[in-house]
Chains A and B, each alone.
Chain A
C-alpha cells in the first residue's frame, strides 16, 4: 500500500522530527522546510508516526 503524503509548507518549522521518523521518506530542503522525497522509503506505520509526531501538524496522509 502506498500512502499519499503531503506537507503544508506554511506550517512546517523545520524541526526535522519527520526526517528521522520517516527514514528519509521526508527530507528538509535547503530552507529547512520539509518535503516529500520518497514515500516508499518508509513503512506506512513509520509515516503515520512521523505524521502524528509532527510538532506543528504539518503532515497529512491520504490513505484512500
Chain B
C-alpha cells in the first residue's frame, strides 16, 4: 500500500455511500480492517424502493444492496443496530451506543439523515418515509385509510401521494409554496407537476403551510395556514431531511448544516472523510459547496471517499442526477441549476415534457417527464460540456 500506516478504516453509515465505500476499499486492494457501523437494524438496502415499489405493492420486500455473504467474503465487519455517539478526532476513536470503542486510522462519515418532523405536526401515528421500518406502518395506513393527508409536495410527498391513490385513498397534498417543487424546478415546471397531481384526482392545496396535526376519535385533523381544516385517517409528512450530525458537534468538525468537505471528501479533521447526504462538498466545476440528497450521487460519493481514505486521487465532482416515479410518470433530473435565467419547456402536457434550464445561454440542468431517451441525450450533452470545460481549465493551468 502507498500508505502503510492505514490499517483500520471505519465507515459510519448504513446507506448507499457506506455500502459503496466499503466495497470500493476492497476493490482498490486495501487489505487492512474495514468496519461498517449502521444505526439501522439491517445492512444497507435499496432505499429508493421504499416510497415506490415497497409501498405500492409490497414489491419484493426490502432489497439488500449486497447479496448474502458478500460482506463476509470481503472480510468487512458489519455492526448493525448501533449508532455512533461520539467522535474523538485527536485520539481517533469512535464510540458506539453499546459502548464499543472503535479505533481508526481513517474514518468515513456517511451517516445520512433523518426526516424532519416539525413538532406541531408530530401527532402520535403521523408517518414519515426514510427507513425500511417506515414501510409497514405506511402500508397499513394506506390500506385502511379512506382519506390521507400528505404534507410536503416534494418528490417524496409526490411519490407517497401517488402510492396512496393507487390504494384507492382520497389524497390531499399540502404544499406551503404556490406550486410544488418551486425552489427546485421553478413555477412553470412546478405547475406541470401540480397538473399531474390534479389530473390523478389529488386534492392539491398549494400556498398554505400545514400548521398543526391533532389526533381525535375520528382520525386526524390537519389545520392549514389559512384556517381551513382537513379530516383524514392518516397523515404522512415529507418536508425534507436533516443530516444526522448532531453527535459530531462536540468533535469540532466543521459543519454548516452538513459536514463540510473539500473537493476530495476531506473534512476539517485529519483522517476523517465524509460522503453522501450528510456531506456538503466543494465542487470545483460549480465553484460552490454542494449538498444533494440523491441516491445515485451518494453511492458514487462513497466510492470517492474510499479512494480519498487510501490517499488516491478522489476528486468528487458529479453532475447531480435523480429520478422519481409518480403514477405512470418517470421524472428525471440532471445538472446543477440552483438559479437559472430561462427555462424552455416542450412537450405534450404534464405527463410528457422536457424542461431545459439555461444559465447565460448554456444548458445547466434538464428535467423530463416520461422522456428517457431525450433525457439520455441531454444528460450526455451536460457531461460532454463539463468534460470540455475541464480540459479548458487544464490548458489554462498549462499556459
Contacts and interface: CB of A to CB of B under 8 A. Distances in A.
Q: Do A and B bind each other?
A: yes
Interface of A: 8, 10-11, 13, 15-17, 20-21, 23-24, 45-46, 49, 52-53, 55-58
A17 B53 CA distance: 14
Contact of A11 (B63, B321, B373): B373
A contact patch SS: loop
11 contacts: A13-B379, A20-B66, A23-B67, A49-B59, A53-B46, A53-B52, A53-B53, A55-B332, A56-B372, A56-B375, A58-B372
B277 to A, nearest CB: 16
B60 interface: yes
A56 B323 contact: yes
A46 B372 contact: no
A13 B53 contact: no
A20 B296 contact: no
Q: 8 tightest CB-CB pairs across the interface, nearest first?
A: A57-B372, A55-B323, A11-B376, A15-B296, A20-B65, A49-B60, A56-B372, A10-B376
Interface centre among B63, B64, B299, B325 (most CB of A within 10 A): B63
A20 B46 contact: yes
A54 to B, nearest CB: 9
Contacts, number: 56
Nearest to B65: A20
Contacts of A53: 46, 48-49, 52-53
A45 B60 contact: yes
A47 B373 CA distance: 21
Interface string B321-346: 11101000010100000000000000
Interface in B271-308: 295-296, 299
A17 B48 contact: yes
Contact of A52 (B53, B67, B295, B296): B53
A11 B373 CA distance: 7
A2 B127 CA distance: 40
A20 B63 contact: yes
Contacts of A24: 67
Contacts of A15: 295-296, 299, 321
A15 B379 CA distance: 14
Given A49-B59, A52-B53, A13 B321 contact: yes
Given A15-B321, A55-B296, 18 more contacts: A10-B376, A10-B380, A13-B376, A15-B296, A17-B48, A20-B46, A21-B60, A21-B63, A24-B67, A46-B60, A49-B53, A49-B59, A49-B60, A52-B53, A53-B53, A56-B375, A58-B372, A58-B376
A11 B380 CA distance: 9
Contacts of A46: 60
Contacts of B299: 15-16
Nearest to B16: A16
Contacts of A21: 46, 60, 63
A23 B68 CA distance: 10
A53 B66 CA distance: 17
Nearest to B64: A20
B332 A56 contact: yes
B71 to A, nearest CB: 13
A52 B52 CA distance: 10
Nearest to A41: B67
A11 B64 contact: no
A45 B60 CA distance: 8
A24 B46 CA distance: 15
Interface in B347-392: 372-373, 375-376, 379-380
Interface in B215-258: none
Residue among B46, B48, B299, B376 having the largest count of chain A Cβ atoms under 10 Å = B376
A47 to B, nearest CB: 11
A26 to B, nearest CB: 13
A58 B48 CA distance: 17
Contacts of A52: 53, 325
